[in-house]
Structure 1
Amino acid sequence: MAASPIVTITDMSISFTSPDEADIEAVRQVDLTLTPGKTLALVGESGCGKSVTARAVLRLLDRNADIRTGKILFDGAGGAVDIARLKPDSEAMRAIRGAQISMIFQEPMSSLSPVHTIGDQIDEIIILHERLNPKQARQRTIEVLDQVGVPGAKDRANAYPFELSGGLRQRAMIAMALACTPRLLIADEPTTALDVTTQAQILDLLRQLQDDYGMAMLFITHDLGVVAEIADEIAVMYLGDVVEQGDVHDVFRQPRHPYTQALMNSVPRLSRKADRVRLSPIKGNVPSPRDRPQGCAFTSRCPYAFEPCAGIAPARTVLGPDHIARCHLLEQVQTKELA
């Protein structure tokens, strides 16, 4: 029997308001399901809406951002709660944030306080959510630092962020996110600034911690190699739209959307060196959200674009069990197959 989802995002659209410009739609009609023990990778180029989508789950959006439509249903202890309807500073949201849903941010040096020790910052979260006294909280802090592989955890708890290496700062961020054993962990490009050896260690650590806690994980990245290593499912975003989504093995084996295919073709491969095959970059640039195309957002860069693409937004095409894509070409192929 399949486990019930921890968070279900349905038809979520997010816009940013500006006093001197029209509203900018950053995320459009996103559907995601986050299940215990599973990792969903959110993939795409910079500026496609990955981090905005993740921050919406914790209501950490900028003041000028608004969840215009859709639901973010969280399966809480007292029943389903629509996070999209909660106020960011409400007591209900504060009870979820950090305790039930936690986030590892992309750059720990800008996310950790430079004037407080690592231990003090983790202690604060534990005291707030677990109602422990300072001595008990510090003991828990040392335990979780040790669990994420920080050597000499007791001494490191008294260190400031600038006294730690990049890899140790990232482990401290993971410890902070896991201090209250959350049910959902959001990892926003947690390995981007790390060398490949440390990156592999962090990925191994996250997989092990997921096995230990049985938590769901939303992993945001632009690195398809990392996706292949850690994800169970993948959602490919382009200009705020999820253009393809499905089981990671199905999507990698047979990518169906032209954007997903282009991402795959742009990845360097060892076999290409011997064959002297050039990389295949995606031509053109991502359009500005201020000038979003009326139809398919990928039209200007798509080698298969035809008449309907520029004027009509594509609907979801079901390609198999849990595999969907938004593309007029796929709609046309499917229509011919059914005829």
Structure 2
Amino acid sequence: MVDKPLLKIEDVEIAFSSPDEADIVAVRQVDLTLTAGKTLCLVGESGCGKSVTARAVLRLLDQNASISRGRILFTPPGEETVDIGALKSDSLSMRAIRGNKISMIFQEPMSSLSPVHTIGDQIDEMIMLHEDLKPKEARERTVSLLDQVGIPGPRERADTYPFQLSGGLRQRAMIAMALACTPNLLIADEPTTALDVTTQAQILDLLKKLQDDYGMAMLFITHDLGVVAEIADEVAVMYLGDVVEQGDVFEVFRAPRHPYTQALMRSIPTMARKADRQRLSPIKGTVPSAKDRPQGCAFTSRCPHAFEPCPTVRPERTQVGEGHVARCHLLTQDTTRAEELA
């Protein structure tokens, strides 16, 4: 018997309303699947809908945003499946999931942690909210968590405020808070973006170790393909609200089939001898506004292979390998055109 996926996002569309304009669709018919113990990386340029998709899982969307289509199915081990998309953001059912069974590490801890409460008090509150522990017991758990994420002098650090910690220590404190209730799913929204390279490597190693210890699934959001190669089991590439390619990380990196994924791979700087050096190959053009999204493929305006159906007809998800899918009209056309992407 095959276990159900821990999280299954089916055909989800997220729209933002405006009093002066028509609704703007920020995420269009996204399908994602997360399995316990595995890491799915969501990668793409800034503004492509990665963070909006992640926040929808925890129902932390802005007031003018709504899940206008699809389902977000969450199946904790040994429990019934819950459609998170159908829950109200402030319902007791959603509060029982948020921070307890699904936690999130936000991109910038300085703006996510309260500046007027100590690190220890904030983690204590998270623990006591979801578990029947007394304040002293919660504090001991907090100190243990801070020690586990590598914060020196954890008992003393628990009494410090966020502004008294370095960026790396604040991020570790945020990770400790996210792990306070041993979640089944951890969402990490670009947790290493503001950190130096050495601290970034330490945080990635820490997350991998904690994932092994807790057996949790992880949805990791980033725009850095180097991070993807290091931490992911599967990768989903987003562009302007669409998941254009998804599959096993080794398969996608070895043989990317969507023109956008291929362009991302070509734009990675590489070390080479002087005689072999080449100029970077940037992606030409700019990402159009979500208000001006083509009806068809979102990448049409920047794609060197675009042809007749691309601007008007949205490509179907096409199987291009075992567990490897992409959305591109070239993949469903004649052999000559399909070979352009091979």
- Shorter-chain TM-score: what band? over 0.9
Superposition RMSD in Å: 1.4
Using the size of structure 1 for normalisation, the TM-score is 0.97
- Is 1:197 paired with 2:183? no
2:271 aligned partner, one-letter code = L
Q: Which residue number in structure 2 is paired with residue 304 of structure 1?
A: 305
**Alpha carbons 1:114, 1:160 under 8 Å: kept:** yes
Q: Spell out the pairing of 1:113-262 with structure 2 (5 A cutoff).
A: 113-262=114-263
Task: Letter of the 1:71 partner, please give it.
Answer: R
Q: Secondary structure at the match of 1:51?
A: helix
- Rounded to whole Å, the distance in 2 between the matches of 1:335 and 1:78 is 49
Structure 1 residues 158 and 334: CA distance shift in structure 2, 3 A: farther
Per-residue deviation, 1:4: 3.0
Whichever residue aligns with residue 14 of structure 1, its letter is I
Quick one: distance in 1 between partners of 2:68 and 2:272? 46
Structure 1 counterpart of 2:61:
61
- Measured at CA, do residues 174 and 334 of structure 1 come closer, stay the same or move farther in structure 2, by a change above 3 Å? farther
SS in 2 for 1:87: coil
* Counterpart residue number, 2:294: 293
1:258-337 to structure 2, matched below 5 A, reads: 258-271=259-272, 274-333=275-334
Q: CA shift at 1:5, angstroms?
A: 1.4
- For 1:212 and 1:124, how far apart are their aligned partners in 2? 23
The secondary structure found in structure 1 opposite 2:120 is: helix
The residue aligned with 1:112 is 113
Residue type at the aligned position of 1:36: A
The structure-2 alpha-carbon separation of the partners of 1:191 and 1:303, relative to structure 1 and needing over 3 Å to count, comes to same
Q: Which has the larger displacement, 31-40 or 69-78?
A: 69-78
List gaps (5 residues or longer) in structure 2.
Answer: none
Amino acid at match of 2:199: T
The 1:273/1:330 distance shift into structure 2, 3 A limit, reads: farther
Contact 1:3–1:36, Cα closer than 8 Å, also in 2: no
Q: Secondary structure at the match of 1:271?
A: coil
1:79 aligns with 2:80: yes
Q: Which runs of 5+ in 1 are unaligned?
A: none
Does the aligned pair in 2 maintain the 1:272–1:278 contact within 8 Å?
Answer: no
Give the conservation status (yes or no) of the 8 Å contact 2:7–2:72: yes
**Which string of whole-angstrom CA distances, capped at 9 and with x for unpartnered residues, describes residues 159-184 of structure 1?**
10011011000000000000000000
Query: Could you say what secondary structure the match of 2:193 adopts?
Result: coil
Cα distance in 2 for partners of 1:173, 1:313 equals: 40
Asked if 1 retains the 8 angstrom alpha-carbon contact of 2:330 and 2:337, the reply is no
| Aligned equivalents of 2:274, 2:173: Cα separation in 1 | 38
- Aligned 8 A contact 1:123 1:138 in 2: yes
Q: Give the corresponding residue for 2:96.
A: 95
Kindly provide the CA deviation profile for residues 12-52 of structure 1, in whole angstroms up to 9, marking residues without a partner as x: 00000000011000001101111111000000000000000
Sort the Cα spacing of 1:309 and 1:273 in 2 relative to 1 into closer, same or farther, 3 A.
farther
Deviation at 1:271, TM superposition (A): 2.2
Q: Sequence identity, in percent?
A: 76
Shift of 1:331: 1.1
Q: Distance in 1 between matches of 2:157 and 2:324?
A: 45
The letter of the residue matching 2:30 is: V
Deviations 1:257-301 (A, max 9, x none): 000000000010112755220000000000100111111110110
Equivalence map 1:4-43=2 (5 Å): 4-43=4-43
Structure 2 Cα separation of the partners of residues 34 and 2 of structure 1: 14
Query: What amino acid maps onto 2:306 in structure 1?
Result: A
CA distance 1:38–1:190, change in 2 (3 Å): same
Tell me how far 1:78 sits from its aligned partner: 3.9
CA distance in 2, matches of 1:272, 1:116: 52
Q: Summarize deviations over 1:202-226 as a string: whole Å, max 9, x none.
A: 0000000000000000000000000
Deviation at residue 57 of structure 1 after TM alignment: 0.3
Cα distance in structure 2, aligned partners of 1:165 and 1:285: 35
Which residue of structure 2 lines up, in the alignment, with residue 45 of structure 1? 45
Q: Is the 8 A contact 1:317 1:326 kept in 2?
A: yes
Give, in whole Å, the separation in 1 of the partners of 2:207 and 2:275: 35
Letter in 1 for 2:105: I
Cα-to-partner distance string for 1:71-124 (whole Å, 9 max, x where unaligned): 001114540010000000000000000000000000000000000000000000
Which letter does structure 2 place at the counterpart of 1:306?
A: F
Query: Residue type of the partner of 1:45?
Result: E
